Structure 1
Amino acid sequence: MFFENRLKGKTALITGATSGIGKSCAVKFAQLGMNVIITGRRESILQEIKNEVEKNYKVEVLTITLDVRNAAEVKESIDKLPEKWKNISVLVNNAGLALGLEKMYCNSIKDIDTVIDTNVKGLLYVTNAVVPLMLKRDISATIINIGSVAGDAAYAGGGVYCASKAAVKLLSDGLRIDLVDTKIKVTDIKPGLVETNFSVVRFKGDKERADGVYKGIKPLTPDDVADNVVYVANLPENVHVAEMTVLCQNQADGRTLYRLS
């Protein structure tokens, strides 16, 4: 380990933890001895992850089945946490998705609502439920929002998704300002191309089209992003990373890629 482990024995809460970056974060935190609360909509997969992590590492895992789009469900789930699980030192707002790649005026209302409700409102619902717990305990804590390079500039067919990730950047900035007089840090981590089920979801199960997104380029893995999440969470108390952009080789920004033939 290239840094001192400051996370052992603490608790992290991760949304969207059933796959991809969220699952990798849960495993990486567990490797450092953190207890983890994992949330998602698929109860059976959460239980599988819990069993896997607790088998491999000497930590405890609490699963919460919830949809971050449901404000009442989020609040009730956090309010009902057992006392020992309310001492949350790290919150990773990871739940998010994109749907479709059509022109903005061709997006279905359902897809628009799902993306905005998950990526923006869901982040707010979870943050508003967890921050008061952190403040009440007056602990040093870190909130890590998983944004995207897509939030820096729009690309064709991605207007709604890009806007949602731009919102994550500005919400992170605003929350950092609101918490400047506390012990809570706020970081917006903005990955570039990451190979997860993201594209499969975006293209609604079209695996061939999803695979084409990564053709000719070696994308980031969920573990690559999780490594940076853990790095930020593990920094000394006096070090505050406001924003981090993480790209794969041959990617310059959200719109510029060099694909090998």
Structure 2
Amino acid sequence: MLSMFSADELRRFLRYRYDDAVTESLPGPTSSLALMVETVCELLERHSLVDRAFFAGLREERPRRSGEIDAVEALWAAPQESIKPFTWSSPEQLAKIQLEALPTHRDHTVSARFLVRGAEAAKSVAKVLVHRHFGAKPRYRSDESPEHSTGTGWLIAPNLCITNHHVIAARHGGDPAVTPEDFDRQARSTTLHFDYLAADATIDPVQVLESVAADATLDFALLRLPPSPARRCACANGCSSAPARPRCRSASTCCSTPTARRCGSACATTSSSTATATGSAT
């Protein structure tokens, strides 16, 4: 569809053939063709509308492309190859079966701790939803819902999240380049969804306060979040948003940053007298 329609042509094609269940969910009139096609494919599959009538409509609309449309329809309609169960053809093959064994005295079992640590680290990962702006104006879909671009972000401190610059820029093929003003507006209108375990899960979104730093060449954007005692980053010590304490000797980034967030480890500062006696510095 990318090579067959413009965004306006595709919109008219859909409005002529489908009801509001499809057309009301289309992106706004100034959306790029890439976003339009991506949304259309998702909607048609969701409503089971990729059928013979759909391909017939494409052929009617673009008769010179019938050969290509027929080829795509054939691929779509082709049944998936069934997996044939394995069967032994002779007693000789059965005789070759050996029980699995590892002849060694070393313990090769693997701890499941990596699963627990992975689940813990996932708590610092968030789905990023950016409300797109053009010319200082927010963009909405035809159903008046915000037109979002999505990405992924990671906590590096309790109130700092890092993501890619292109995620906050939220521009697709054919869109004009993002201006610094629109970039800042989009950063401030960004929401983060932590604990995104399922599309229908109940999530308390976190509103970004501002973009602290960003660089298009290095492709990063650092976002400031409101403080939250429950939010923890995935560093080795597990930072929290508790009141600041004196800086410690821990090698953890969360301890040594100027924000001086509290570490979950037993970080302790030493008195000046102890430091003098031992020659160490806190």
Structure 1 length as normaliser, TM-score? 0.22
Greater RCO, CA 8 A, separation 6+:
1
The structure that is helix-richer by fraction is 1
Q: Which has the larger radius of gyration?
A: 2
Give the TM-score, by structure 2 length. 0.21
